[in-house]
């Protein structure tokens, strides 16, 4: 009996501690609604078509201000582009050419450039943080590589903020150049509503509503934050099954060895 | 016990010169162990295994980590994305820290319940407290390495604690940092220390085991072993039991690692460190929360408010003192607890107090995760008070009015009489 | 880990003469697990994805005139690519193998006679020879010259004079089209 009590106490205590812990991190704003995602759950995978659409939204809408620093062009093969398509996508951007055979990176003060290659990182919209602030009313658009991991509510948060724009309630004091957002901490966000209906034209014919684009780009960003997720779950299932078999055998052996004691 | 004779000539040759096989035979195979140990005794060996897992994954992670403020965050992301199995090593190492503390806390509270710290095992217990301290230091410096927001601000807040030391506090903080804020020199030395400390833990574990093997394991009844009938050879009885426990634990550990790797972590740490922006709430990892609660529980003018001493200690200083005292006090536990009876099984009052104390620690953990305001602050203060009241007042005084139950004659007598502590062996 | 300890458990029990199925299967499963767990440790030290992504390179050769050469970088090494003139090709072909220190025919060293692709590191002590740029000395045999210790290479990148023991190495390459070279 006392063992069960002990376990009950420990479990209750830990759960309590963690639930309060994570509730705290949300801070202030309305918690985002919990949505269903194809990649949640132990067997969940990313929807390739959705990720491709999400990439299109990122590229055509977000990439004007937000970098995706951790992603290389070659990574786009993971979301369903062929090697040839990736080469083309990369070649559309200009990247720093690096030192030439004389060891120089600049020519007369101008950066030497070349077309992007799959092994390059995605280009950034601004040369540095100061340039980014100057172009955005003093606000710094954050890098989006890890957004879904950096918020307690994960990918739900991204989708919620993208669709959370409203007129401020009467009496709410807005600061100059800010937009009202239900789900953003403090309800004032420097980013104006980025999505509007048909802001992009999807190649697969999906209708580009604001909700659809928000879900698509959220999925894409969830992948960008955890590109290892599918491999992790696949391997995890094998590891757990193996451990269950091994532990069952160890238990049987333990019973047999200890049977002699009684 | 008799010295084993070796038939294999190679083993015999080696053993004559370095009796390592005899040592293993004595301390891991023939090693006499009380026959009534329950599953709470699994956590010692489990802690040893997780230490090895942490060192192994840590060394391999260090192959790809760069201890520089401009590169640390991205080098960790490169491990997660480009290094073969890097994400697995990183997640095992990250969650391994959580598992290590979970195991150690169970191990400590097992020792408290069964009075394992009492004579002649005081030094065994004290070495254990030092292992715990070394673990805390290792975990703290390790958490700084990914150089996320929590890394940076956790490092800033905790190193600032040392500024309360009279006269030289600020100089010590500067010395710890190697500069005038947490910066590249700090990250560099923390990486070095994070690599060094586990080996110090390893050495302490060796001493811990040496002390353990000198007086052998305590047991759920807390009574002395009376003879061979009370004992079993460690192998195969406890090797298989430990392996089975390891299997169950690994299912849990790997379940978290592969399917909820960030459950125990702080999302904020996936933002790169920014020395100009403090996160809305700085929350340490869960295993530090009780101490964090104690740190923040003290009122201003703590001592003066009660008029005990003619000095004023501000809230920060008293909080730091209490926090370090809460851990160091554990070293004195063998002398604070004046009861001659070890196991709580035979101590009706202590048993109740034990559960209250455990609940108190969990409450402190919960408080530590919340801002110290209003009700939270009050509960935190009461829980902090109770922590010290339990250790300093109740433990020494309870034996004077506690009527302990009659101890069984021997372990084997208790086992055959279906006594306490033999439950798992009879299942 | 402690699996090996379990194996020595036999002999505890006199009456068990049959093969111990349970023990053997447990130890086998444990051993398989340990072996599989070793792989990630080995593989972690192999080149990572970002390193492998740089392991091959594609070059556009369309801008190189006959008689010109460029230096590309592949796996951190300089690659000499020379578009040889007809006379350079002839000079390379018309050497008697017996005269060579490291005998190799020109046909064995090129895929298309016009294009010579070499790892531009002197086989003596690892210096980078000169002769790839117009205006640099090409040595006594019209190829390359290593200024460190005076090794002369010919128009097929073979060592002809000086202390270097071997010809320039040839990297693995193929032509994806007439003007696109893939190295790696």
Residue A74 structure tokens:
């070659």
Judgement on whether residues C80 and C32 belong to the same structural domain of the protein: no
Does a cis peptide bond (omega within 30 degrees of 0) precede residue A139? no
Residue A219 lies inside a defined structural domain of this protein: yes
Measuring CA to CA, how many Å separate A40 from each of A35, A161, A162, B134, B159? 10, 20, 20, 38, 39
Per-chain mean pLDDT for chain B: 92
pLDDT at B333 over 90: yes
Please report the pLDDT score of residue C7 as a whole number: 42
Query: Cα separation of A117 and A72, whole Å?
Result: 9
Query: Cα separation of A233 and B258, whole Å?
Result: 6
Measuring CA to CA, how many Å separate B283 from each of B102, B187, B267, B292, B365? 18, 20, 11, 9, 11
Block means of pLDDT (10 residues each) for chain A, length 262 residues? 55 53 52 95 95 97 96 96 95 86 79 90 94 93 96 95 93 90 92 94 94 97 97 98 98 93 74
pTM recorded for the entire structure: 0.89
Residue C2 lies inside a defined structural domain of this protein: no
Cβ contact B235:C9 at 8 Å = yes
Question: Looking at residue A110, what DSSP letter applies?
Answer: E
Query: Can you spell out the DSSP letters for B7-50?
Result: -SHHHHHHHHHSTHHHHHIIIIIS-EEETT--GGGGHHHHHHHH
In C131-151, which positions are buried (b, 16+ CB within 10 angstroms) versus exposed (e)? bbeeeeebbebbbbbbeeeeb
Number of H helices, E strands in chain A: 8, 6
Q: What ipTM is given for this predicted complex?
A: 0.91
Query: Cα separation of A16 and A26, whole Å?
Result: 16
Sign of CA dihedral B10, B16, B19, B22: positive
Span(s) in chain B for CATH 1.20.810.10 = 35-224+233-275
Query: How close, in Å, is residue C100 to chain A by CA atoms?
Result: 31
Judgement on whether residues A20 and A42 belong to the same structural domain of the protein: yes
Judgement on whether residues A9 and A36 belong to the same structural domain of the protein: yes
Judgement on whether residues C78 and C163 belong to the same structural domain of the protein: yes
Residue C49 with chain A: CB contacts under 8 Å: 74
The residue in chain A having the minimum alpha-carbon distance to the alpha carbon of residue B284 is A21
Judgement on whether residues A180 and A245 belong to the same structural domain of the protein: no
Please report the pLDDT score of residue B414 as a whole number: 82
Residues near C45 by beta carbon (within 8 Å), at least 6 away in sequence: B60, B63
Judgement on whether residues A170 and A220 belong to the same structural domain of the protein: yes
Judgement on whether residues C19 and C71 belong to the same structural domain of the protein: no
Contact C9 B236 (CB under 8 A): yes
Query: Cα separation of C82 and C109, whole Å?
Result: 13
Judgement on whether residues A249 and A204 belong to the same structural domain of the protein: no
Judgement on whether residues C94 and C124 belong to the same structural domain of the protein: yes
SS3 A173: coil
How many domains is chain A partitioned into structurally?
Answer: 2
pLDDT at B348 over 60: yes
Partner residue opposite C40 with nearest CB, options B81, B85, B246: B85
The tokens 């809460």 sit on which residue?
Answer: B326
The residue in chain A having the minimum alpha-carbon distance to the alpha carbon of residue B83 is A228
Partner residue opposite C29 with nearest CB, options A101, A249, A257: A249
Structural domain range at position A143: 3-71+121-227
Q: Report residue B423's pLDDT band, with 50, 70 and 90 as the boundaries.
A: very low
Total residues found in chain A within this entry: 262
Query: Cα separation of C104 and C118, whole Å?
Result: 14
Question: Looking at residue A99, what DSSP letter applies?
Answer: -
Contact A246 C13 (CB under 8 A): no
Burial of C98 from C-beta contacts in 10 A (0-12 / 13-18 / 19+): exposed
Residue C3 structure tokens:
């699996």
More confident residue, B58 or C13: B58
Query: Cα separation of C78 and C120, whole Å?
Result: 5
Cβ contact C160:C172 at 8 Å = no
Please report the pLDDT score of residue A58 as a whole number: 97
Judgement on whether residues A169 and A200 belong to the same structural domain of the protein: yes
The tokens 């070293």 sit on which residue?
Answer: B331
Query: How close, in Å, is residue C6 to chain B by CA atoms?
Result: 7
Residue A110 structure tokens:
């101008």
Best of B11, B46, B64, B236 to disrupt the C interface (most C CBs within 10 Å) is B236
Contact B267 A25 (CB under 8 A): yes
Give yes or no for B106 touching A (CB within 8 A): yes
Residue B88 structure tokens:
């697995």
Partner residue opposite C53 with nearest CB, options A74, A246, A260: A74
Judgement on whether residues A243 and A197 belong to the same structural domain of the protein: no
Give residue A193's Cα distance to chain centre: 19
Measuring CA to CA, how many Å separate B377 from each of A15, B293, B299, B381, C18? 20, 9, 10, 6, 67
Please report the pLDDT score of residue C4 as a whole number: 42
Return the axis-axis angle of helices B184-215 and B169-177, rounded to nearest 10°: 100
Please report the pLDDT score of residue B183 as a whole number: 96
Judgement on whether residues A33 and A57 belong to the same structural domain of the protein: yes
Please report the pLDDT score of residue C19 as a whole number: 57
Encode pLDDT of B187-210 as tens digits: 999 999 999 999 999 999 999 999
Question: Cα angle at B289 between B332 and B88, to 5 degrees?
Answer: 110
Please report the pLDDT score of residue B417 as a whole number: 66
Judgement on whether residues C116 and C179 belong to the same structural domain of the protein: yes
Residue A245 with chain C: CB contacts under 8 Å: 29
Residue B171 CB coordination number (10 Å): 12
Cβ contact A68:A145 at 8 Å = yes
Query: Cα separation of B245 and A223, whole Å?
Result: 36
Judgement on whether residues A257 and A138 belong to the same structural domain of the protein: no
Whether B242 is a known active-site residue: answer yes
Judgement on whether residues A186 and A254 belong to the same structural domain of the protein: no
Residue C40 with chain B: CB contacts under 8 Å: 84-85, 88-89
pLDDT at B83 over 80: yes
Judgement on whether residues C20 and C76 belong to the same structural domain of the protein: no
Please report the pLDDT score of residue A163 as a whole number: 95
Query: Cα separation of B358 and B366, whole Å?
Result: 13
Residue B254 with chain C: CB contacts under 8 Å: none
Cβ contact A153:A185 at 8 Å = no
Whether B406 is a known active-site residue: answer no
Query: Cα separation of A192 and A180, whole Å?
Result: 9
pLDDT-flagged residues of chain C (< 50): 1-15, 17
Q: Which chains touch A (3 or more CB pairs under 8 A)?
A: B, C
Judgement on whether residues A129 and A147 belong to the same structural domain of the protein: yes
Sign of CA dihedral B97, B99, B102, B105: negative
Residue A106 CB coordination number (10 Å): 12
Question: Looking at residue B193, what DSSP letter applies?
Answer: H
Alpha helices in chain A (DSSP H): 2-26, 48-60, 83-91, 129-135, 147-150, 154-163, 210-225, 229-259
Query: Cα separation of B191 and B59, whole Å?
Result: 12
Please report the pLDDT score of residue C10 as a whole number: 46
Residues near B293 by beta carbon (within 8 Å), at least 6 away in sequence: B364, B365, B367, B368, B372, B380, B383, B384
Residue C161 lies inside a defined structural domain of this protein: yes
Task: CATH number of the domain at A138, please.
Answer: 1.10.760.10
Structural domain range at position C41: 8-46
More confident residue, A147 or B426: A147
Judgement on whether residues A59 and A139 belong to the same structural domain of the protein: yes
Cβ contact A116:A260 at 8 Å = no
Domain B35-224+233-275: state its class.
mainly alpha
Cβ contact B193:B139 at 8 Å = no
Encode pLDDT of B274-329 as tens digits: 999 999 888 899 999 999 999 988 876 555 555 555 556 677 888 899 999 999 99
Task: CATH number of the domain at C58, please.
Answer: 2.102.10.10
Question: Which one, of B31, B25, B125, lies nearest residue B328 by Cα?
Answer: B125
């Amino acid at each position: 009996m006392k063992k069960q009590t002990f376990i009950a106490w420990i479990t209750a205590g830990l759960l309590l501690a963690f639930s309060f812990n994570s509730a705290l991190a949300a801070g202030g704003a309305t918690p985002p609604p919990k949505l269903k995602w194809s990649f949640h759950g132990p067997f969940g995978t990313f929807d390739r078509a959705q990720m491709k659409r999400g990439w299109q939204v990122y590229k055509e809408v977000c990439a004007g201000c937000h970098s995706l620093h951790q992603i290389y062009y070659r990574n786009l093969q993971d979301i369903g582009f062929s090697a040839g398509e990736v080469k083309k996508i990369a070649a559309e951007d200009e990247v720093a050419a690096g030192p030439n055979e004389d060891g120089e990176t600049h020519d007369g003060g101008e950066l030497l450039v070349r077309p992007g290659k799959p092994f390059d990182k995605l280009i950034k919209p601004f040369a540095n943080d100061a340039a980014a602030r100057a172009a955005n009313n003093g606000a710094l658009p954050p890098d989006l590589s890890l957004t879904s991991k950096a918020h307690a509510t994960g990918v739900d948060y991204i989708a919620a903020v993208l669709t959370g724009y409203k007129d401020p309630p009467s009496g709410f004091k807005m600061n100059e150049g800010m937009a009202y957002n239900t789900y953003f901490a403090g309800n004032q966000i420097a980013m104006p509503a980025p999505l509007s209906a048909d802001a992009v034209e999807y190649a697969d014919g999906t209708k580009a509503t604001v909700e659809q684009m928000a879900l698509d780009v959220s999925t894409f960003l969830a992948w960008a934050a955890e590109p290892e997720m599918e491999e992790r779950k696949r391997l995890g299932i094998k590891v757990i099954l193996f451990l269950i078999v091994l532990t069952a055998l160890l238990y049987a052996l333990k019973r047999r060895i200890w049977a002699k004691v009684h | 016990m008799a010295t084993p004779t070796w038939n294999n000539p190679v083993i015999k040759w080696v053993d004559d010169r370095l009796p390592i096989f005899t040592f293993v035979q004595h301390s891991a195979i023939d090693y006499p162990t009380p026959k009534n140990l329950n599953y709470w005794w699994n956590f010692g060996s489990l802690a040893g295994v997780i230490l090895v897992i942490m060192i192994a994954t840590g060394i391999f992670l260090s192959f790809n980590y760069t201890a520089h403020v401009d590169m640390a965050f991205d080098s960790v992301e490169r491990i997660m994305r480009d290094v073969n199995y890097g994400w697995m090593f990183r997640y095992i190492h990250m969650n391994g820290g959580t598992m290590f503390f979970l195991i150690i806390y169970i191990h400590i509270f097992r020792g408290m319940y069964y009075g394992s710290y009492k004579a002649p095992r005081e030094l065994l217990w004290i070495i254990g407290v030092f292992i715990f301290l070394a673990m805390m230091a290792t975990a703290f410096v390790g958490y700084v390495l990914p150089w996320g927001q929590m890394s940076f601000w956790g490092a800033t807040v905790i190193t600032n604690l040392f500024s309360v030391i009279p006269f030289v506090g600020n100089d010590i903080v500067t010395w710890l940092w190697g500069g005038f804020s947490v910066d590249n020199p700090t990250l560099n030395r923390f990486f070095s220390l994070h690599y060094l400390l586990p080996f110090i833990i390893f050495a302490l574990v060796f001493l811990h085991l040496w002390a353990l093997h000198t007086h052998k394991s305590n047991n759920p009844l807390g009574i002395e072993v009376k003879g061979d009938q009370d004992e079993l050879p460690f192998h195969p009885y406890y090797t298989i039991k430990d392996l089975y426990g390891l299997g169950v634990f690994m299912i849990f550990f790997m379940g978290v690692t592969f399917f909820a790797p960030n459950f125990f972590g702080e999302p904020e740490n996936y933002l790169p460190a920014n020395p100009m922006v403090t996160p809305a709430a700085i929350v340490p990892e869960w295993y530090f929360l009780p101490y964090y609660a104690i740190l923040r529980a003290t009122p201003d003018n703590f001592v003066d408010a009660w008029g005990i001493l003619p000095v004023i200690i501000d809230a920060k200083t008293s909080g730091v003192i209490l926090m370090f005292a809460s851990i160091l006090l554990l070293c004195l536990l063998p002398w604070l607890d004046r009861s001659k009876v070890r196991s709580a099984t035979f101590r009706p009052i202590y048993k109740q107090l034990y559960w209250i104390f455990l609940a108190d620690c969990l409450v402190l953990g919960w408080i530590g995760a919340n801002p110290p305001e209003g009700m939270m602050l009050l509960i935190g203060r009461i829980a902090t008070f109770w922590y010290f009241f339990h250790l300093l007042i109740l433990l020494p005084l309870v034996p004077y009015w506690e009527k302990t139950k009659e101890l069984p004659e021997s372990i084997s007598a208790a086992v055959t009489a279906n006594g306490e502590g033999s439950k798992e062996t009879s299942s | 880990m402690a699996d090996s300890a379990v194996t020595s458990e036999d002999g505890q029990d006199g009456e068990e003469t049959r093969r111990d199925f349970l023990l053997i299967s447990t130890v086998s499963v444990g051993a398989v697990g340990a072996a599989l767990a070793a792989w990630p440790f080995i593989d972690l030290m192999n080149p990572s994805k970002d390193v492998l992504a740089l392991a091959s390179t594609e070059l556009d050769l369309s801008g190189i005139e006959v008689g010109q050469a460029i230096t590309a970088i592949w796996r951190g090494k300089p690659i000499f690519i020379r578009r040889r003139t007809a006379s350079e090709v002839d000079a390379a072909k018309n050497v008697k193998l017996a005269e060579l220190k490291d005998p190799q025919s020109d046909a064995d060293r090129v895929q298309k006679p016009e294009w010579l692709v070499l790892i531009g590191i002197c086989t003596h002590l690892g210096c980078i020879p000169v002769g790839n740029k117009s205006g640099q000395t090409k040595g006594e045999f019209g190829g390359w010259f290593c200024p460190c210790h005076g090794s002369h290479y010919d128009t097929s990148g073979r060592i002809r004079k000086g202390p270097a023991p071997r010809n320039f190495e040839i990297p693995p390459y193929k032509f994806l089209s007439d003007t696109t070279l893939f190295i790696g």
